[in-house]
Chain A
Amino acid sequence: MKSCTVFAVQAQGADIMTIEGVANADGTLSALQEGFRMMHGLQCGFCTPGMILRAQRLLKENPNPTEAEIRMGISGNFCRCTGYQNIVRAIQYAAAKINGVEFQEAAE
């Protein structure tokens, strides 16, 4: 959900999760936050909250997405720094971690 396309009143009664609430209860980074850091999924960080929350929803609905599904899933979010390669990898990293499997990076 993009906050810029929703009136506050439309969210009445809803549970709202923002980037500030994504970290684990003990304060450590969530799998997605960690993935973005490990895979250099950000430069300036401006698009990161949207990317992480979008990815969180994506992984909830599809815990094991293909690269194409990830790219389609985040297609409504723009990164103007560098591109989407590392963002995709960050989400793949998080999916693997959540699923308890080893993250396999595509051959370079």
Chain B
Amino acid sequence: MNDMTPTREQREAKLEGMGCKRKRVEDIRFTQGKGNYVDDLKLPGMLHGDFVRSPHAHARVKSINGDEALKVPGVLAVITAETLKTVNLAWMPTLAGDVQMVAGRRQGRVPEPGSRLRGRVPTAMPPTTASTRWWWNMSRCRS
């Protein structure tokens, strides 16, 4: 650096916009715990949803039984691919109803019929009035 090289201050005094350090306005609230994230949102009548994912990378969904989930206080609904059919949304590849396939590789573990797995079964989501840990009764699922 020779004597002709402007200092950072001299550069910044001349610059605007591109190439100039800007102080972000949002940092004032973010550094004080005043940010507002999706998890902070509270709207009237708002429900919480929880996604249940398949424990198998490649499996056929034979049935989904939400009875146990519905028994949990605060659980209002269990939404599956079957539910989406009733509102003409089954074409959306959001909830698996037939085949769960990711890498096309079979997994060895086969849950026994009627076994309970916590929170991990072919895709579906139960809206609840509060974040709830819940159990799902999986009737039959074979890889």
A residues contacting B by CB (< 8 A) are: 18-20, 22-23, 29, 33, 36-38, 40, 42, 44-46, 48-49, 52
Contact = CB atoms under 8 A, between A and B. Distances in A.
A42 B31 contact: yes
B9 interface: no
The 5 closest A-B pairs by CB, nearest first: A45-B30, A19-B33, A33-B31, A37-B27, A20-B33
Contact of B31 (A18, A29, A44): A29
A49 B33 contact: yes
Contact of B33 (A18, A38, A40, A42): A18
Nearest to A33: B31
A46 B31 contact: no
Interface in B52-89: none
Contacts of A52: 31
A45 to B, nearest CB: 3
Contacts of B31: 19, 22, 29, 33, 36-37, 42, 45, 48, 52
Contacts, number: 41
A37 B24 contact: yes
A42 B27 contact: yes
A102 B77 CA distance: 60
A37 B28 contact: yes
20 contacts: A18-B33, A19-B31, A20-B33, A22-B32, A23-B32, A29-B31, A29-B32, A33-B31, A36-B31, A37-B27, A40-B21, A40-B24, A42-B31, A44-B30, A45-B26, A45-B27, A45-B31, A45-B35, A46-B37, A48-B31
B30 A42 contact: yes
A42 B37 CA distance: 15
B14 interface: no
